[in-house]
Amino acid sequence: MEDNQIEEGEKHRDVEVAPALISVHPSQNSVAVAVGSDLRVHDLLGDGVVSLLDNSGAPSHKDSIRAIRYGANGKLFVSAGDDKVVKIWSAESWQCICTVSSEKRVSAVAISNDGQHVCFADKFGVVWVVDLHGIDGSQASVNKKAAPLLAHYCSIITSLEFSPDGQYVVSADRDFKIRVTIFPKKPLDGAHEIQSFCLGHTEFVSCLVFVITLDYPQGFLVSGSGDSTVRLWDITSGSLLDTCEVDAKAGHLESNGSDEGYSTVTGLCVVPDSTLIAAAIQRQVVSIKGENFIPTSLANSSSTGLLWMVTGVSNLPGFDFPSVSRVKVISGFNKSSPDCLEHEPLVLEDSDIPGGMKLLEKLQGSVKVEEKVFSAAAEAVKTAMCNLLIKKQYSSDKREYRKRTRNDKKIKQ
């Protein structure tokens, strides 16, 4: 009987659900959504049509995409995930300019501020760096090798960020750690000098973002975690400056079906005027015009006041749709208006979204998606995230059982 239980657990792991991801070009030239192995890009400047040029012929990604991101200067775009391939695209021509193979599945990506280095983290906790010097996108896709930069000891890295001044690379993991490492002049030799560790979270750290203010251009680090807090850090010393209990803040929005104690912070986004931070959390169901919407990913561009959200999953078991997604946009975060809180942030009607229905069709795959799918999707994302990041707690019975079945134990008498 117990064997069955274990087998079931194995089976569950086979159907891995990946949350939908969204990323917006720094000046909102385009928007990218990744659902499962599908990468969808909508151009907001031209006629909206973007076809990804990848000379390999086969689909760009063969398995779930786990990380997408635009470079700070808007020239590059990176996608990576479970198929152990990192694709670096030109964000103008949408030509794949570089393909990097990873030994393990990729969990996070980052692009240095000058666009010369791409970092990605794998499931073994190693962060790799790819040097892009000499690649300008004029030639066809090149294959590059990555060099190990740093490592968290066998902990899944959940998020990677470069500091605004480019001096540090920050990595967060499922062991509550945030490591701030000096980004070296020769990154291919590895980053050995650790500036600080930001310690304070009591569950996995899920997301990182920098806040830049006029008084503090180096920026503060903000992190979201499975312990349902958002914390503010000074990265040079690693000291904790502030903690925000998201549960308490979100209290007034809470739906009646609050069953669990924790709401995991899954996404963070800094509003351009840098006084507001948007946080996406699990459990909480934001009711928008009768639709249940739990964003799986957030994004915005530095130039506009729009906050883009997406929800959805790939490989949703029990439904006809192989992968579903829904895009929403919130406006009202316009910069330099301190009184913006007076008028509530507004969720745009589908037709008011830049790019309109055409964009939605491209990014969602279809305009209308059944509502009940999303509640199922939200549930699936939550389970997937828990399986991935929360440490398994075995009951003492089960632990004893596992010990008993260990085949290397000496038999007494």
Give the interface with other proteins as residue ranges (CB under 8 A): 124, 126, 148, 150-151, 153-155, 175-177, 179, 181, 184-185, 189-194, 196-197, 199-200, 202, 238, 391-393
Nearest CA to 327 out of 304, 303, 285, 355 is that of 355
Residues paired with residue 124 on neighbouring β-strands, in sequence order: none
Q: Of 205 and 329, which has the nearer Cβ to other proteins?
A: 205
Q: Do the beta carbons of residue 161 and residue 205 sit within 8 Å? A: no
- Least Å distance between CB 385 and other proteins? 16
Give me the least distance between CB of 154 and other proteins, in Å please.
5
376 or 388: CB nearest other proteins? 388
Q: Coil, helix or strand for 148? A: strand
Q: Residue 308 phi/psi, 5° resolution? A: -100, 140
Please report, for residues 87, 115, 140, 250, 292, the alpha-carbon distance to residue 136 in angstroms, rounded to integers and kept in the order given: 15, 11, 10, 45, 44
Instruction: Dig out the tokens for 305 from the structure.
Output: 């006041």
Q: How far apart are CA 188 and CA 131, in angstroms?
A: 8
CB of residue 391 vs other proteins: minimum separation in angstroms?
4
User: For 37, which DSSP code?
Assistant: T
Report the nearest approach of other proteins to the CB of residue 150 (Å). Answer: 6
* Strand partners of residue 298: 309
Q: Which is nearer to other proteins, 62 or 192 (CB)?
A: 192
Task: Rank residues 80 and 150 by Cβ distance to other proteins and give the closer one.
Answer: 150
Does an H or E element contain 401, and which? Answer: helix 396-404
Cβ–Cβ under 8 Å, residues 128 and 77: no
Q: Which is nearer to other proteins, 92 or 175 (CB)?
A: 175
CB of 390 vs other proteins, minimal distance in Å: 10
For 391, counting Cβ atoms within 10 Å of its Cβ (0-12 exposed, 13-18 middle, 19+ buried), the class is exposed
184 or 345: whose CB is closer to other proteins? 184
Neighbours of 22 (CB within 10 A): 27
Indicate the residue among 196 and 282 with the shorter CB distance to other proteins: 196
**Least distance in angstroms from the C-beta of 182 to other proteins:** 9
CB of residue 411 to other proteins, shortest distance in Å: 15
